[in-house]
Amino acid sequence: MIVLLIAKTVGDCFNPSIYEIILHLKGLPFMDANPESWMRNLTVGELVDVKPAVISLQGVEKVAKIVDVLKNTTHNGFPVMDDGIVPPVGQANGATELHGLILRAHLIQALKKKFFLNERRRTEEWEVREKFTWVELAEREGNIEEVAITREEMEMFVDLHPLTNTTPFTVLESISVAKAMILFRQVGLRHLLVVPKYQASGVCPVIGILTRQDLLAHNILTVFPHLAKSKSRQKRN
């Protein structure tokens, strides 16, 4: 037993463990228990800046827009915004409100169940209860290619408000990647919304979304290679 412990300790000094290598080869987004020290020098705002622009949906969105987003992206979550909200006293008019986050599976369910409106309006609670069951909303399977939408239905609307998670986890763009990683791992998140430090009229309330893949050290070093040099210097010290 002592020989095995010594052999493993020596081996880990030269390369990752066999289990970590297998996880990496399979592409599984396994996060380390503790963030790297260099992650304290990088903010989540800098991380989302190198990602494609966030794709958001309106609270009452057109069917054609939802279908287009689902067919042309592989994202699993989308921020839901509301324009023209009356702001609290002391804030500028014309603000955009972050209503929450909606999952891809729920968008597909809305299309499958034909939860369509002829006009842009909010739905009543009884309309939602008649259309969906908790079992259907708990499903995570479904493909947009399996949903048939007519040309007339493309011009209709879907109220996303009742299907949206109105309490998603958010972080300011100024916090470090290390803190975001700790939060992500401890809470077991799938999405983490990054919001701007300053809110103002005309400023989007969400500047990006982080997933587990974005917070993996290997993926970060691929985008920010200069951090790898600081990492190697820390190891030498």
Separation of alpha carbons 69 and 118, rounded Å: 20
pLDDT of residue 42: 92
Residue with tokens 């999405």: 191
The burial class, CB within 10 Å (0-12 / 13-18 / 19+), for 110 is: buried
pTM of the predicted model as reported, rounded to 2 decimal places: 0.80
pLDDT of residue 84: 65
DSSP states of 167-222 as a string?
---EEETTSBHHHHHHHHHHHT-S-EEEE-SS--TT--S--EEE-TGGG-HHHHHH
CA nearest to 192, candidates 206, 207, 177, 211 = 211
Name the residue with higher pLDDT: 17 or 163. 163
Separation of alpha carbons 87 and 84, rounded Å: 9
Separation of alpha carbons 139 and 116, rounded Å: 20
Q: How many CA atoms lie within 13 A of 172 on its CB side?
A: 6
pLDDT at 89 over 60: no
CA nearest to 162, candidates 183, 132, 136 = 132
CA nearest to 57, candidates 116, 102, 113, 95 = 102
pLDDT of residue 203: 78
Task: With cut-offs at 50, 70 and 90, classify the pLDDT of residue 141.
Answer: confident
All domains in the chain, ordered by first residue: 30-236 (3.10.580.10)
**Mean pLDDT rounded to a whole number for the chain:** 84
